[in-house]
Amino acid sequence: MEMIDQLHEGPTKAFAKHCFEAYSPEELEKAAEGAPDEAEMEHWGITAGEWEEAVTTALADHRSSQV
């Protein structure tokens, strides 16, 4: 989780870790292509931009671990 570790501590980093551990790269790619999930944003206390940052960071970490 090299990319996630570079995020500032807080809900965005916690959500990014959750995404990395709970979702496959394919699921994250699909999520990144769509709109931010309102329920997840509310649950984690993050904005749409933070949601996108967390999802794309988790996806980047998945991709870098596959190389």
Residue 56 binned pLDDT confidence (cut-offs 50, 70, 90)? very high
Amino acid at 51: W
Whether 67 shows a pLDDT value over 90: the answer reads: no
Residue 65 confidence (pLDDT): 87
The burial class, CB within 10 Å (0-12 / 13-18 / 19+), for 3 is: middle
pLDDT in tens, 18-46: 999 999 999 999 999 999 999 999 999 99
Alpha helices, DSSP H only, in 1-67? Answer: 2-5, 11-22, 25-33, 38-44, 48-66
